[in-house]
A and B are shown apart, each in its own frame.
Chain A
Amino acid sequence: MICWLRLAALALLLAAVPAQAETLLVTMSERTVDITSNFTGSSITVFGAVRRDASTVPRASDYDVVVTVTGPRADRVTRLKDRVAGIWINRHAEAFEDVPTAYTVLSNRPIEDIAHPALLTRFQIGIDYLLASSDEPNTASADGDTGEAETLDDMDTSERPADHVFERAFLRLQRESGQYQEDPEGVAVIDNTLFRARATFPADVPLGNFEVRVFLFSGGALLAEEQVGIVVRKTGFEQFVFRLSQTDPFIYGALVILLAAFTGWLGGVVFRRS
Chain B
Amino acid sequence: MQIYLPIAELAVNVFLILGMGGAVGFVSGLFGVGGGFLLTPLLIFSGIPPSVAVATVTSQVVASSTSGVLSYWRKGGVDFKLAGVLLCGGIIGSSLGVWLFSILRSLGQLDLIISVSYMVFLGAIGSMMLIESARSVWRGARGGSVSLRQPGRHGWIHGLPFRVGFKKSRLYISVIPVVLLGLAIGFIGAILGIGGGFIMVPALIYLLRVPGNVVIGTSLLQILVTMAVATMLHAFTTGSVDVILGLILMVGGVLGAQFGASAGQKLKGEQLRLLLALLILAVGVRFLVDLAIEPTDLFSVAGLGG
Contacts and interface: CB of A to CB of B under 8 A. Distances in A.
A255 B301 CA distance: 32
A215 B88 CA distance: 64
Contact of A242 (B7, B116, B254): B7
B207 interface: no
A251 B228 CA distance: 13
Contacts of A41: 11
Contacts of B9: 204, 206-207
A256 B234 CA distance: 11
Interface string A233-256: 010011101100110011011111
A40 B2 contact: yes
Contact of B232 (A87, A166, A253): A253
Interface string B34-61: 0000000000000000000000000110
Nearest to A268: B67
Specify which of A95, A203, A255 lies most central, judged by the most chain B CB atoms within 10 Å of its CB: A203
B250 interface: yes
B145 interface: no
A4 B306 CA distance: 42
B109 A89 contact: yes
A264 B6 contact: no
A79 B108 contact: yes
B241 A253 contact: yes
Contacts of B241: 245, 252-253, 256
Contacts of B231: 253, 256-257, 260
B148 interface: no
B285 interface: no
Contact of A80 (B232, B294, B299): B299
Which size class do B's interface residues fall under?
35 or more
Interface in B271-306: 291-295, 297-304
Nearest to A166: B299
Nearest to A86: B292
Given A170-B301, A255-B243, A264 B4 contact: no
Contact of B67 (A93, A169, A264): A264
Contacts of B112: 87, 89-90
A76 to B, nearest CB: 6
A166 B234 CA distance: 32
B10 interface: yes
A16 B108 CA distance: 47
A173 B300 contact: yes
B299 A256 contact: no
13 contacts: A75-B303, A77-B302, A80-B299, A87-B292, A90-B108, A207-B9, A242-B6, A250-B232, A253-B232, A257-B62, A259-B59, A265-B66, A267-B254
Interface of A: 35-41, 74-83, 86-90, 93, 95, 166, 169-170, 172-174, 177, 203-204, 206-207, 234, 237-239, 241-242, 245-246, 249-250, 252-257, 259-261, 263-268, 271-272
Q: Please name the 8 residue pairs, one residue from A and one from B, whose CB atoms are nearest each other, closest first.
A: A264-B66, A267-B254, A253-B235, A260-B62, A169-B299, A203-B11, A204-B10, A260-B63
